[in-house]
Chains A and B, each alone.
Chain A
Amino acid sequence: MYKQAARLVRAAAVLATICAMPSFSQAADITGAGATFPFPIYAKWAEAYKAQTGIGLNYQSIGSGGGIKQITARTVAFGASDVPLTAKELADGGNLIQWPMVMGGIVPVVNLDGIKPNELTLDSDTLAKIFLGEVKTWDAAELKKLNPNAKLPSTPILVVHRADGSGTTFNFTNYLSKVSADWKSKVGSSTSVEWPTGLGAKGNEGVANNVAQTKGAIGYVETAYAKQNKLTTMKMINKDGKAVEANGQTVQAAAANADWAKADGFYLIITDQPGASAWPISASTFILMPKEVKDATAAGEALKFFAWAYKDGDKAAEELDYVPMPANVKELVMKSWAQIKGPDGKPLNAM
């Protein structure tokens, strides 16, 4: 008991030191928290930005719900969410403003011996049935029909989903609700839902890891996570009935129809878009900031970082299969930043 207590005290001391240290060494860092979906690209941007300006980004990828909570509590300079907030939610968060930062695809990934990436194809109905627990084995008739040439094992399908609230889940279930009436009535669409089957993992990282660990598993992750973890991705049949792979071009094709100028408060969901080469489960990820900021310097630094990312970050985004926002959307967004005002009531526009 005593030993345990001593260990606890020691652990607490170490933890306190660790927590205290960054506040000395990185006082000028930009703080943000939220979605795990864009974390790989934010991390990459932050690295390049730090090399150029010396200012780092401390981004905690705790999930969209956490990001909304943190920015509402004003513990960070910006929040990040894969779920766009409605006008009411923006007001509830203490007068927030949101804008899309980058787009990406959510892709089904599997762990099956002898199956190559993009060898298997799924349609929306089968995907919904798998996650409803109705298609149970890999050699089910639905899968055989879609993949007549693939060697499908007779093993059970093990579903991996998110255990935490998540913007990735929101977009994934939003898609399933659009394409399957059964899904819509039984499960619905939200950042976290009552899953009919499968096991839960924390974060995109957790799902990627679990699929990589578990033979016969299927999960859904952001394409960057599939790429980094070398997971076996699947093709999907889109709204136009064409089989497409998840990559930068297909997400871009899905975004082509999106009309951001008409979207009030940039509220727009881009799943199940028409277009022969459109990736069906595409998503944009959003930044949240208060319109009246207390710490004008911190907020100003954050805006400078986003302006830099819009200007110089496209290549890095494309390398990770994210899709940069179109130039006209970037312009709209940067104009909207005039609404962000410091304690003196003056806009913080950092351009």
Chain B
Amino acid sequence: MVNIPMSSVSVASRDLAVKRFAARDAVFRLLTRSAAYLVLTLLGGFLVTLVVGSWLALSTFGVSFFTSQSWNPNPDILKFGALAPIYGTLVTSAIAMVLAVPVGLGIAIFLTELCPLRLRRSIGTAIELLAGVPSIIYGMWGLFVLAPVLQNLENSYLVPAVAEIPVLSTIFAGPSYGQGVLTAGIILAIMVLPFIAAVSRDVFETVPPVLKEAAFGLGATTREVVRKVVLPYSRVGVIGGAMLALGRALGETMAVTFVIGNDPKVRASLLAPGTTISSSIANEFAEAKDAMHSSALVALGLILFVITLIVLAAARLMLLRMSKRSGV
């Protein structure tokens, strides 16, 4: 050993060094712990602020805040009900998921199972770029390009086509403004599509090739391999991606504000203008002079907060039950 002659000197210094390491570790632990606690404090802080801020509105209107769709900031009236924004938020997000999940899964399956290698990279990059486009650009595109096209299509074809069919004629009742719940849902679908596609692709790639090869060996078709091997193996990740997308859809503000029509009413027709929680807040907060109006908007924020928590909790619960059932 080379350092034997130095050992008498180094015992003291090693002690010192160990102490120093211990001290550094303690500081490190403290720093990381306070970072973790900071998150909890922030979350708690948000909740407290939202509850305190919304108290005036919630205590004044009580249950009717959730059941009434009268949203009247006129200072002589000041009556607020959150039904229309809640309805708009849920319906636009639902439309987005219905449209985006199948397409996103399709993209991911094609990319991982069927696509030639060269094309795979370019499509993959395109999806990542799409995910990076700021929401305001989707909003502008939605307003200037998509809305006029949709208005024309809906008024000329969709509305007359379903006019005689009982339920559809209500859901797609005209006239179409080009802007409305359906347009917002479509924009949201386009926005969350890359999330679903990218996450699903990544989890599909984690499926062990040996499983797929075994299935192919048994004579399974590509469709059967995807349905019986790939999807069951990766469903946790896929649902995770979808929930991430749903979270984004629920809270998306700018793009939706551009195309939803901003009218706080619950209407049966998906072509009619509506509003969402986040776009109501964005539109009205700067202008809310009355304490009651501000408070009603904060209460909307609280509701969105709770809806998001419920979605996340439901996702967790679903995943938990699924993994228990399959014993993974």
Contact = CB atoms under 8 A, between A and B. Distances in A.
A339 B117 CA distance: 77
A186 B235 CA distance: 53
B290 to A, nearest CB: 9
B284 interface: yes
Interface stretch (A44-52, A58-66, A245-253): A58-66
B147 interface: yes
Contact of A199 (B76, B261, B284): B261
B177 A164 contact: no
B175 A163 contact: no
Contacts of B178: 213-214
B286 interface: yes
A164 B273 contact: no
Contacts of B132: 7
B54 interface: no
Q: For the complex, would chain B's binding face be called helix, strand, loop or mixed by DSSP majority?
A: loop
A202 B151 contact: no
B204 interface: no
Given A190-B75, A193-B74, A200-B283, A155 B289 contact: no
Interface string B119-136: 000000000000010000
Interface in B266-311: 273, 275, 283-284, 286-289
Contacts of A190: 73-76
Contacts of A56: none
Interface in A60-115: 62-66, 68-69
Interface centre among B70, B180, B289 (most CB of A within 10 A): B289
A165 B76 contact: no
A158 B174 CA distance: 11
Nearest to A33: B286
Given A213-B144, A214-B177, A199 B273 contact: yes
Interface string A130-173: 00000000000000000000000001101000011110000000
Nearest to B174: A156
A192 B143 contact: no
Nearest to A216: B175
A188 B263 contact: no
Interface string A198-217: 11111000000110011111
B284 A165 contact: yes
A192 B74 contact: yes
A214 B257 CA distance: 16
A153 to B, nearest CB: 12
A216 B263 CA distance: 18
Contacts of B175: 155-156, 158, 216
Contacts of A66: 286-287
A191 interface: yes
Contacts of B70: 194
Interface residues of A, number: 35
Contacts of B283: 163-164, 200, 202
A260 interface: no
B253 interface: no
B179 interface: yes
Interface in B143-180: 143-144, 147-148, 151-152, 155, 174-175, 177-180
A64 B177 CA distance: 27
B74 A163 contact: no
A65 B75 CA distance: 12
B34 interface: no
Nearest to B248: A4
A192 to B, nearest CB: 5
Interface string A240-274: 00000000000000000000000000000000000
Contacts of B148: 213-215
Contacts, number: 99
A306 interface: no
B143 A164 contact: no
B233 to A, nearest CB: 22
B223 to A, nearest CB: 31
Contacts of A214: 147-148, 151, 177-179
B2 interface: no
A165 B273 contact: no
A213 B287 contact: no
B72 interface: yes
Interface string B26-38: 0000000000000
Contact of A65 (B72, B155, B174, B286): B286
A195 B143 contact: no
Contacts of B76: 188, 190
A179 B289 CA distance: 27
A209 B287 CA distance: 21
B128 to A, nearest CB: 8
Contact of A63 (B147, B179, B286): B286
A158 B288 contact: no
Contact of B262 (A7, A166, A201): A201
A192 B273 contact: no
A349 to B, nearest CB: 30
B87 interface: no
Interface centre among B148, B152, B179, B283 (most CB of A within 10 A): B283
Contact of A213 (B77, B143, B284, B289): B143
A194 B287 contact: no
Given A64-B287, A166-B287, A188-B76, 11 more contacts: A69-B286, A158-B177, A194-B77, A199-B177, A200-B261, A200-B273, A210-B179, A213-B144, A213-B147, A213-B148, A214-B151
Which 9 residue pairs across A and B have the least CB separation, nearest first? A165-B287, A200-B262, A65-B287, A199-B261, A156-B175, A163-B262, A199-B273, A190-B74, A194-B72
17 contacts: A69-B287, A158-B177, A164-B286, A165-B73, A165-B284, A165-B289, A166-B287, A190-B76, A191-B73, A191-B287, A192-B284, A199-B179, A200-B273, A214-B148, A214-B177, A215-B148, A215-B151
Interface of B: 70-77, 132, 143-144, 147-148, 151-152, 155, 174-175, 177-180, 257, 261-264, 273, 275, 283-284, 286-289
